[in-house]
Structure 1
Amino acid sequence: MSIHTLHIEHVMLLAIYSLLTVANSLLYRNVKGIHWFSLYNVFALLGAIAVELRGQIPDFLSIVVGNLCVMTGYALLFFSLAALAERSIRQTYFQLLLLAAAVVTMMQWGYWHPETKTRLLAYSLILFLQQAHIAFFICFAHAGKLRRVGSAMAVMLAGLAAINVIRILGVSLHGAPSDYLQAGPFLAGIVVANTCLQCGAMVAYVWMTASLLRKELEHQALSDPLTGILNRRAIQKAAEREIALSRQRSLPLSVITVDLDSFKKINDSYGHHAGDATLIAVADCLQQAMRGTDLLARTGGDEFTILLPRTSLQSADEIAERLRSCVEALRVLHQDVETTITASFGLATLESSTLTWDHLINTSDKALYRAKRAGGNIALTTPDPSPTLLAG
């Protein structure tokens, strides 16, 4: 099969993938950087069309503009990934530098002083640097968000970079044909491999964005939209896992339920925006006073639940007092109005008689109700003849 025929197939595949990616970008327009990815596909298609029309359109369009379209496409692909990973604009400087080098080299050896071998070597080298940079960015360059789901795309880009190294070696040793579209099996093989990997990279990108969207939806399903902490469903799933672990390894496990005192008064006096600001401030306060292993969730309007893995009741007492003091010292400023808040705390610990999360949380709720009836701003343990009073 001639390289001319292979390029026709290359163009047709890129056209199909371009339509699919543009449709995908319209469907998921909220995904950061997805419009750059659509432009990458368009520029890759334009570059392939320009190469395919060599001899039928001016060489400047086919060689210089066509090659620059391909290299611009890879720069746009990097812009897309940088936006998706929420990296700063400085991350794109290297790609812009390579594009500037591409313009100079393509004009020099593709238009002013045509030299096929030198131009093909420069083209392959710049593409290698672009593709290797993108693969490196996905895997290593502080793009942890991409690393987990972008391995397939990184492999495709690394493969494309390797193909350009092979082309550099082949052209250096055997030279380049005067008419690229009449090239032999070596460059034809390069076209086949490039087509497969380029289409694979496009599919990998779509899969990667779908994975990120799924993770985002999972995060939204398990988090409270106002405070950003866990919600009731998330804390229950975590608790069931920790209870099983505690029973298996005979580890202590405690829970603290929190209810804000006189929260309704803030809403009635200053409005719901002030109430929301108070909830956010309290959530931040609790997170700062907690340990790194503890889990915090908003489980009601002004109710919070804290799961304390590997924590005895005595240690939970100490943590509850620290949390109570933090909330009591909190000053919430909203629209030039400063408000204060206190909270009541109920504590419970996993015992042999506690079979489920519901039982454990109900026990801590009973202690919380006693704390509320006692006037609030205190932390009480589970009901017993001599309850633990931490503060008054």
Structure 2
Amino acid sequence: MDIHSLHVEHTVLLAVYTLLTVVNARMHKGIQGIHWFSIYNALLFVGALLVALRGHIPNSISIVGGNLFVVAGYIALFICLARFFGAKLTELRIQGVLAAVGVVTMVQYGLIHPDTDKRLLAYSVVLCLQQAHVALFVARKERRDTHAAASMVFMLGGLGLMNLWRIAAVATQAVPQDYLKVRGGLVWMVLINTALQCGAIVSYVWMTASLLRGNLAVQALTDPLTGLLNRRAMDRAAEKVLGAVTLDAPASAIAVDLNDFKQINDSHGHACGDVTLIAVARCLELGLRHSDFIGRMGGDEFIALLPRTPVEVAREMARALDHALRSVVIPFGGKEVRISASFGCAEASSAASTWGDLIGACDKALYEAKSDRRRIGTTAAVVPEPAL
């Protein structure tokens, strides 16, 4: 097949790719930068279309316009991926410099002093550097599902290698001044580029699907108001933590119950109650260690799970949390809302202890603290019920 027919086929496929990315963008509007991926494919499509129309439109438009639309496409791809990963666009200047080099060389060797060899070399170098830069950028980013990002790096790396192949081909064989008459490796390159660009689209859709799946997993395990772990997530954490408990490495828990929270809702409204719960959640998070787990059990009840922590340490941590909560001031409706809480601490020193045992012991200590008008109650240890 001649290279002109391949470029026509490449153009048709890019049109289909563009349509698919537009549909994907409309389906997942909440993903940052997703519309830039459609722009990337549209620019590549226009560039390929101009090249495919060589001989039917002025060469200046086909040569310079076609190549520069592709260069612009990789700028759009970088913006897309930077926004997808939530990164700043500080590295965009690298793409800008490469694009400027592309403009100068395309005008120089496509219009002023037409030279197919030099134009192909310059174009290939610019594209190779653009693709390598985007691939390295993605490789440095971390996501929950790294396979999708790795596939994007692979596709961009493959496109970069294609441009290295074109550089070698141009440097070692004579290229006719009429690009549409080239033969050999440059023809195969168009076919492989088409496949790799299709792979890049699949990789991006895979990345968006992984992100959505991760977001759904987070939503399933977090409290929607406070962002803390929910009951399900705390159950999972407790299963691992309590399974590793020994006499020398006990685990403890702290139950937290806000005092007079109903009065806050009644006096200031449920909006104020929500703001209060969020403030409490942030305060508790800041007062715990990175290895600890904190969750909202419902209403104004919270619980913290402390791996490898004896109850004496848990009690000291509860005192610190009590002091921190009493210093919190919540401005709402021109007034200041203050909060306090009661705490119940308990320890599990046997792997046979269950999460239910530990919660029950914390609740018992919490109830006793409230009954005795103390702020912090403690149950020394959780003793599992003997098997019948």
Instruction: Indicate the residue corresponding to 1:167 in structure 2.
Output: 166
Instruction: Indicate the residue corresponding to 1:72 in structure 2.
Output: 72
Deviates more, 1:192-201 or 1:325-334: 325-334
Counterpart-to-counterpart distance in 2, 1:191 and 1:147: 31
Counterpart-to-counterpart distance in 1, 2:14 and 2:337: 60
**What count of residue pairs does the alignment treat as equivalent?**
380
CA-to-aligned-CA distance 1:204-263 (integer Å, 9 cap, x gap): 01101110111111112111222222122111111112122336x973111111110011
- Classify 1:180/1:280 alpha carbon distance in 2 versus 1 (closer, same or farther; 3 Å): same
TM-fit CA distance, 1:66? 0.9
AA matched with 1:49: L
Structure 1 residue 34 and structure 2 residue 34: aligned? yes
TM-fit CA distance, 1:175? 3.7
Counterpart-to-counterpart distance in 1, 2:34 and 2:339: 44
Structure 1 residue 380 and structure 2 residue 377: aligned? yes
Equivalent position SS for 2:245: helix
**How is 1:92-131 mapped onto 2 (pairs within 5 angstroms)?**
92-131=92-131
Instruction: Indicate the residue corresponding to 1:370 in structure 2.
Output: 368
- Classify 1:200/1:230 alpha carbon distance in 2 versus 1 (closer, same or farther; 3 Å): same
Give the conservation status (yes or no) of the 8 Å contact 1:82–1:91: no
What do you get for the CA RMSD once the two structures are aligned? 1.9
Give the conservation status (yes or no) of the 8 Å contact 1:346–1:366: yes
Instruction: Indicate the residue corresponding to 2:154 in structure 1.
Output: 155
TM-fit CA distance, 1:367? 1.4
AA matched with 1:219: V
Instruction: Indicate the residue corresponding to 2:47 in structure 1.
Output: 47
CA-to-aligned-CA distance 1:356-375 (integer Å, 9 cap, x gap): 21222122112112222223
Instruction: Indicate the residue corresponding to 1:330 in structure 2.
Output: 328
Counterpart-to-counterpart distance in 2, 1:60 and 1:146: 46
TM-fit CA distance, 1:100? 2.2
**How is 1:1-392 mapped onto 2 (pairs within 5 angstroms)?**
1-140=1-140, 143-145=141-143, 148=146, 149-246=148-245, 251-352=249-350, 355-375=353-373, 378-382=375-379
Give the conservation status (yes or no) of the 8 Å contact 1:167–1:187: yes
Displaced runs of 4+ in structure 1, greater than 3 A?
Answer: 351-355
AA matched with 2:360: N
Deviates more, 1:367-376 or 1:71-80: 367-376
Q: Which runs of 5 or more residues in structure 2 are unaligned?
A: 382-388
Counterpart-to-counterpart distance in 2, 1:122 and 1:147: 36
Give the conservation status (yes or no) of the 8 Å contact 1:327–1:341: yes
Give the conservation status (yes or no) of the 8 Å contact 1:106–1:119: yes
Give the conservation status (yes or no) of the 8 Å contact 1:366–1:383: no
Counterpart-to-counterpart distance in 2, 1:156 and 1:198: 7
Give the conservation status (yes or no) of the 8 Å contact 1:138–1:147: no
Counterpart-to-counterpart distance in 2, 1:209 and 1:176: 41
TM-score using structure 1 length: 0.92
TM-fit CA distance, 1:351? 4.0
TM-score using structure 2 length: 0.93
TM-fit CA distance, 1:76? 0.5
Counterpart-to-counterpart distance in 2, 1:303 and 1:103: 63
Counterpart-to-counterpart distance in 1, 2:17 and 2:348: 56
Counterpart-to-counterpart distance in 2, 1:156 and 1:354: 51
- Classify 1:321/1:229 alpha carbon distance in 2 versus 1 (closer, same or farther; 3 Å): same
Instruction: Indicate the residue corresponding to 1:390 in structure 2.
Output: none
Counterpart-to-counterpart distance in 2, 1:293 and 1:78: 36
- Classify 1:147/1:154 alpha carbon distance in 2 versus 1 (closer, same or farther; 3 Å): farther
Instruction: Indicate the residue corresponding to 2:384 in structure 1.
Output: none
Counterpart-to-counterpart distance in 2, 1:287 and 1:278: 14
TM-fit CA distance, 1:354? 5.1
Give the conservation status (yes or no) of the 8 Å contact 1:139–1:146: no
Equivalent position SS for 2:32: coil
